[in-house]
Amino acid sequence: MIKKNTAFFTLLVVLFASSLAFGSNDEEAGHSTGGAVDTKEEINEYIHHHLKDSHDFTLFSLGESGTHIGFPLPVILVDDGLHVFMSSKFHHGTAVAESNGNYYAVHHGKIYKTDAEGHIEYDEHHHPTNATPLDLSITKNVVGMIFAGILLLFMFGSLAKSYKKGPIPTGVGRFLEPLVLYVRDEMARPNIGEKHYQKFMPYLLTAFFYIWLLNLMGMTPLGFNVTGNIAVTVCLALFTFFIVQFSGNKDYWKHIFWMPGVPVPMKIILMPIEIIGMFTKPFALLIRLFANMTAGHFVVMSLIALSITMKAAFGPAAALGMSFFLALFISIIEILVAFLQAYIFTMLSALFIGMAVEEHH
């Protein structure tokens, strides 16, 4: 039963996170048009571009030629009707895309409605004033979330099938079972209690493995930075928030709005503080995950950039070797952080749920 419910929660999280991430394309950065990235400004722009979402999937670029190796993704716009086309029409932000008589251009990763020449109008603060269509595109981060969801369904499907053959799992199940038991015995049971923990195991398992997989995918050369997208962490925190609120018993709500055993004047003072606390808990979840993963990727990319910025002082070979070993060291730490952030998110979610369902003593 847990495996089936976990599969359902996996699809739910993927679809909801995807819908939130659809609207987060303003965090993208434009693609490099080719050439060496060797100045401080270009390096900073390249790092920010690596951390942000994109309408196409670019694996790497070929030096001075500016040839991008990758594949386009579907662009879905709602603007006086539905417009669907591939992102290759933008030619990595250098061309204007035409769809049903409308013209669109990408500026700093965001799609604007424009004319055939691609003119962008600005205000006095140099912010674009062109109309922006509703962007429901399948971006690189959405592809990563869907891939992680499919991978989770495969993993837990294999675990469920292995239990049909006997009490001892085989294949992928041998790797998953200790982690499932770890989530159950170290997070769910101690924080939620024996009476209620099974009800919330599907969500806790989905949250733990989903975040962990996304974090590990961010360590690959594919360029995923899903948990570094605040729209995704907001989505995950909202799941915890709504589960906590809808699972809260009368004692939970009584301690928020009218604390027992407290003088009436103190109840009036503490009630707004407790109400604010309802929202600060999920806010801490989303900021912790977003900030830690973003900072980790930024540090790794910055250390790799040392091979460029330090080659004048130490020579190309020494600078490359220094940046390689520093980046390798930080990458190993990042693997630990990938697990740690999944653990912290799941542990705190279990703790908040346990506070909501705890019975009066």
Looking at residues 3-13, what average pLDDT do you find?
48
CA 127/CA 135 separation, integer angstroms = 19
Cα separation, 117 vs 109, in Å, equals 18
Cα distance between residue 345 and residue 237, in whole Å: 9
Whether the predicted pLDDT of 6 surpasses 60: no
* Vertex 211: Cα angle to 205 and 212 (nearest 5): 90
Dist CA 75 CA 111 (whole Å): 10
**pLDDT at position 112 over 60:** yes
pLDDT at 24: 39
H or E segment and range at residue 328 = helix 316-357
For the stretch 217-273, pLDDT in tens is 887 777 678 888 888 899 999 999 999 999 888 888 888 888 777 788 888 888 888
Sheet holding 110-114, edge to edge: 97-99, 102-107, 110-114
333 within 8 A of 303, measured Cβ to Cβ: no
Residues 150 and 335: their CA atoms lie apart, in Å, by 22
Dist. CA 104–CA 75, nearest whole Å: 11
CA dist list (Å): 58 to 24, 109, 134, 144, 314:
19, 14, 24, 13, 32
* Mean predicted confidence (pLDDT) in 146-161: 89
Distance CA 175, CA 294 (A): 28
Give the three-class secondary structure for 220.
coil
Q: Tell me, what's the pLDDT at 350? A: 93
What does the domain layout of the chain look like in residue ranges? 2-20+141-357, 29-138
Q: Kindly report which listed range (16-20, 109-113, 318-322) carries the lowest average pLDDT score.
A: 16-20
The answer to whether 35 touches 24, Cβ cutoff 8 Å, is no
Q: How confident is the model at residue 185 (pLDDT cuts 50, 70, 90)?
A: very high
pLDDT at 241: 93
